[in-house]
Structure 1
Amino acid sequence: MMSGLETARSFLFVPGDRPERFAKALEAGAHAVILDLEDAVALDNKSGARCHAKKFLDQVADGNLLLRINAADSPFFEADLGLADHPNLAGVILSKADAEHCADMTQRLKTPVWPLIETVQGLVDLSEIVGLPNLGRLLLGTIDLSLDLGVDMAHPAGQSALDTARFMLVKSARLGKLPPPVDGVFPELDNPEGLQKAVEHSCAFGMGGMMCIHPRQIPGVHAGFTPSQTNLEWARSVLQASETEASSFQFRGKMIDKPVLDRAHNILAANAEHST
């Protein structure tokens, strides 16, 4: 995995058939850019999008670039796979990932495979997927998964179902010793308050970042996945207090023991990573 992608928080999609946006996407401030050959590209533009992506990859060698290819059951899959081992790619995202096709790709490619979990089969296969070699991070495709599950994303019950999927990805990533998973997009461009709540919710669930559909979402994603000043102050203070205490102790009315101190260390470590 290329430098920084283990802790990257923002992943900006750019349609593969919009080459005039490629360089702008790299300059937008996202930690990674996803050249999209799948949902963002119309069927009759697939070949052209692949050509545009290749031309751009041939010219750019210093960006954290990912390529989202079409699903394995798509007629465009094999042609997309021909671009997946480009030396300037940091990873290839497999749409509608399952264990069978992830295993096949990890055997065929040198480029790390990033499984996009957006089907029930993908959820069922998670424990097998994370045991594969040469993986990037898990990604959650909330919109497609909600369609496959038949749940309403706009309803609290539908969000509860997606939260179960988030937990499954977080657990599986931990099991496979992978970095925290990347959450699905927030589809509303003109709702910064909604984005903030979605990012805070995702972060609290243990997700490590979010995919973005527009550059204006990037600052909110970065802010939401960075430890708050309140948490930083608590972490520094409780660790300072622990230097003069033995074993468990009380701090600000709460019992503090090793797991709590480990959380404080994790908060400071995450802030250090996000500050670089």
Structure 2
Amino acid sequence: MSKDSLALLQSARSFLFVPGDRPERFSKAQTSGADVVILDLEDAVSARNKDSALLAVTSWLSGTGQAVVRIERDQEVASLRGIPGLIGVMVPKSEDPVHVSRVHQTLGCPVIALIESASGVVAAHSLASVPGVARLAFGELDFAADIAAQPNQRAMLLARSSLVLASRAHGLPGPLDGVTPKFDDDSALTQDLHAALELGMSGKLLIHPRQVAVTHHVFRPSDDEVAWAGRIVKSISDGGAVVKVDSAMVDAPVLRRAQAILARLASDARTLVNHREAHAGGSLAEEDK
């Protein structure tokens, strides 16, 4: 498993879905400013297009593309093995730790376990403990349908908190919150992001590039984090093999985290500019259908 891929998936805030049968949108998504692109072979692709979507995804990832793939069938797992641009795989409807482990062992890349059912929430601790799982993610809409509830903040509170607790207990970063369907409603997205942050979630599944800038703005590092990162980087720049900052030793992982914080801050500024120029077209998952 690539340490770079694992580090990316565990620090990323924005995960942008793109239908696997729309290869003309792959590069557009990759330049959207999203931290991670997810090529979707599940819900976004009709049954008749599954095979052509798999071919499009493997072809793009065999070239210059890099992405996570949301899989659906065993055939897809076999076809993705050894593909150079595959940085991770999302397992939908994750409930069985043995199945998730088998996917990781077959592909050798980090796994995002997407939890979309009551059984998945109950199994969250077991799923978070599987070697190779980089992140838990919450499929709010499918979960709400599974328990016959409304997909609102109150009804989803226990499930979200369960994923946060399982992630924390097993040393994973905060889980990824589910999609906000109204891709052109920045206010709704902002409310969802703040609600997720308050619970301890640290990333968001997205369906349109215009959602990237708002997500990065809400999830941007705090002033305290930026100040801390600056002190860490400066301490290393000043020299010395062993340094202490704020009474704590600074080693390579600490330095990488500090550098990642400062890099995210710079990326946020660029993404906000792009957002102001974004068109108001349909989502990558829905437009031109």
TM-score greater than 0.5 by the shorter chain: yes
- Going from structure 1 to structure 2, the CA distance change for 1:133 and 1:190 (only over 3 Å counts) comes to same
- Pairwise CA RMSD: 2.5
1:186 Cα deviation from its structure 2 partner:
0.4
Q: Aligned partners of 1:29, 1:102: CA distance in 2, in Å?
A: 29
Pick the aligned partner of 1:147 from 145, 148, 169: 145
CA contact (8 A) 1:19 1:53 kept: yes
CA contact (8 A) 1:130 1:173 kept: yes
1:29 Cα deviation from its structure 2 partner:
0.6
The range that moved more, 84-93 or 170-179, is 84-93
Q: Aligned partners of 2:157, 2:211: CA distance in 1, in Å?
A: 21
1:124 Cα deviation from its structure 2 partner:
1.1
1:152 Cα deviation from its structure 2 partner:
1.0
Per the normalisation by structure 2, the TM-score is 0.75
Q: Partner of 1:66: helix, strand, or coil?
A: strand
- Which residue of structure 1 aligns with residue 57 of structure 2? 53
Superposed counterparts of 1:118-129, under 5 Å: 118-129=116-127
Pick the aligned partner of 2:21 from 8, 12, 17: 17
Higher Cα radius of gyration: 1
Pick the aligned partner of 1:200 from 194, 197, 212: 194
Pick the aligned partner of 2:100 from 99, 102, 105: 102
CA contact (8 A) 2:101 2:132 kept: no
Q: Aligned partners of 2:197, 2:225: CA distance in 1, in Å?
A: 18
Pick the aligned partner of 1:186 from 180, 187, 198: 180
Q: Aligned partners of 2:89, 2:217: CA distance in 1, in Å?
A: 26
After superposition, give the CA deviation of every residue in 1:244-276 in whole Å (9 maximum; x if it has no partner). xxxxxxxxxxxxxxxxxxxxxxxx968546326
Pick the aligned partner of 2:46 from 42, 49, 56: 42
Q: Partner of 1:6: helix, strand, or coil?
A: helix
Per the normalisation by structure 1, the TM-score is 0.78
Does 2:74 match 1:78?
Answer: yes
Q: How many residues align?
A: 234
CA contact (8 A) 1:7 1:274 kept: no
Q: Return the letter of the residue paired with 1:66.
A: V
- Going from structure 1 to structure 2, the CA distance change for 1:233 and 1:5 (only over 3 Å counts) comes to closer
- Which residue of structure 2 aligns with residue 252 of structure 1? none
- Going from structure 1 to structure 2, the CA distance change for 1:218 and 1:206 (only over 3 Å counts) comes to same
Which ranges of 4 or more aligned residues in structure 1 deviate by more than 6 Å? 233-236
5+ residue gaps in structure 1? 71-76, 237-267
Q: Aligned partners of 1:54, 1:235: CA distance in 2, in Å?
A: 38
CA contact (8 A) 1:12 1:211 kept: yes
CA contact (8 A) 1:106 1:134 kept: yes
1:26 Cα deviation from its structure 2 partner:
0.3
- Which residue of structure 1 aligns with residue 89 of structure 2? 92
CA contact (8 A) 2:226 2:262 kept: no
- Which residue of structure 2 aligns with residue 274 of structure 1? 264
CA contact (8 A) 1:35 1:66 kept: yes
Identity %: 37
- Going from structure 1 to structure 2, the CA distance change for 1:113 and 1:271 (only over 3 Å counts) comes to closer
CA contact (8 A) 1:16 1:40 kept: yes
Q: Aligned partners of 1:97, 1:225: CA distance in 2, in Å?
A: 26
Pick the aligned partner of 2:36 from 32, 38, 59: 32
- Which residue of structure 2 aligns with residue 226 of structure 1? 220
1:233 Cα deviation from its structure 2 partner:
6.6
Q: Return the letter of the residue paired with 2:123.
A: D
